[in-house]
């Protein structure tokens, strides 16, 4: 049986913030959450070929053929007008890749890489491809030294994770919020399942870090931070925590009216975690 194709939004061939060392990062198109503070909101939706973006594309990189939007990257000037007009937070500028396509790209950049990270969007929505890709990397003698990581919101079910974990070296897991009403406000969904997934990953030895976005007046309130402390303590004081600070880069809509997270706010959370015995904490590069 042929492996599925992946629908990717973009590929970074050099990243030092998506896992240990320098990594090639695949950003998958499509997400099962709708986070209001998403800094990459046009990876959320899947193009339904409505065609609204076609007349907005002045260079003619987009055409509608047989009721399907076709993207010609050679004509694209990256003005992103198509992204602005899309009614479902999708991108018509996606590309489909096979496992062999990605392996060939990895081999080009292999001398500079420590590993591969799949992100998004939400990469686990295309879990079959991720499994096939990681399996192929682990099976290739010239690539098997690369680590395979997943950046995830944790919404994949336990059976899905159990299928992926044998070929996965680490997972960077987002915890969006703890209070149910805040979870739904920020993401449109109940995301509490991610807390249980964190424990599954920890037990399997695959939990690389917990990621927590600090949003002023929302995820930095006393109740939320108390629950963050208790949650990390339940996982173990050596658990790696990455604090991200809400900024306006990439966001859209009402999120542009949200205050950004200042350095002193991040520092206060670092101190709170330290007082609770949690010292394995990474802060945003902009504040380091």
Among 3.50.50.60, 3.30.160.60, 3.90.1170.40, 3.30.70.20, what is the CATH number of 48-85?
3.30.70.20
Among 3.30.360.10, 3.90.1150.170, 3.20.20.70, 3.40.50.10140, what is the CATH number of 6-42+95-287?
3.20.20.70
Strand duo 6-15 + 170-175: pairing: unpaired
Q: How far is CA 13 from CA 10, 61, 91, 284, in A?
A: 10, 24, 20, 21
CB 116 within 8 A of CB 26: yes
Q: Which of 242, 235, 239 is nearest to 213 (CA)?
A: 242
In the structure, what pLDDT confidence band is assigned to residue 286 with cuts at 50, 70 and 90?
confident
Residues 59-98: pLDDT tens digits?
999 999 999 999 999 999 989 999 989 988 899 999 999 9
C-alpha–C-alpha distance, residues 134 and 78, integer Å:
31
Residues 207-237: pLDDT tens digits?
999 999 999 999 999 999 999 999 999 999 9
The confidence score (pLDDT) of residue 178 equals 98
Place of tokens 């899309």: 86
Domain boundaries, the chain: 6-42+95-287, 48-85
The confidence score (pLDDT) of residue 3 equals 75
Check pLDDT > 70 for residue 288: no
Spell out the residues 6+ positions from residue 130 whose beta carbon is closer than 8 angstroms to its own: 118, 123, 124, 150, 164
209 three-class SS: strand
Q: How far is CA 70 from CA 54, 64, 81, 95, 97, in A?
A: 9, 6, 15, 10, 15
Q: Which of 166, 181, 165 is nearest to 219 (CA)?
A: 181
Spell out the residues 6+ positions from residue 157 whose beta carbon is closer than 8 angstroms to its own: 193
């Amino acid at each position: 049986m042929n492996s599925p194709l992946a629908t990717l939004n973009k590929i970074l061939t050099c990243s030092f913030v998506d896992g240990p060392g320098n990594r090639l990062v695949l950003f998958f198109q499509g997400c099962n959450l709708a986070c209001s503070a998403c800094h990459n909101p046009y990876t959320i939706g899947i193009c339904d070929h409505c065609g609204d973006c076609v007349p907005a594309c002045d260079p003619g990189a987009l055409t509608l053929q047989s009721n399907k939007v076709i993207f010609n990257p050679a004509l694209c000037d990256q003005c992103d007008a198509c992204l602005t007009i899309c009614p479902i937070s999708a991108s018509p500028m996606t590309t489909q890749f096979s496992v062999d396509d990605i392996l060939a790209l990895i081999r080009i950049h292999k001398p500079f890489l420590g590993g591969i990270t799949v992100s998004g969007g939400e990469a686990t929505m295309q879990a079959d491809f991720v499994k096939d890709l990681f399996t192929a990397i682990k099976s290739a003698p010239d690539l098997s030294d690369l680590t395979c990581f997943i950046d995830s919101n944790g919404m994949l079910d336990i059976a899905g994770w159990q299928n992926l974990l044998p070929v996965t070296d680490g997972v960077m897991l987002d915890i969006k919020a703890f209070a149910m009403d805040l979870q739904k406000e920020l993401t449109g969904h109940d995301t509490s399942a991610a807390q249980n997934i964190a424990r599954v990953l920890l037990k399997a030895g695959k939990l690389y870090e917990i990621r927590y976005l600090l949003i002023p007046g929302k995820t930095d309130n006393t109740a939320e931070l108390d629950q963050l402390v208790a949650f990390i303590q339940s996982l173990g004081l050596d658990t790696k925590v990455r604090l991200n600070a809400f900024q306006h880069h990439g966001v859209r809509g009402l999120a542009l009216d949200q205050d950004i997270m200042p350095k002193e706010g991040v520092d206060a959370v670092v101190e709170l975690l330290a007082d609770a015995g949690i010292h394995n904490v990474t802060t945003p590069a902009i504040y380091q």
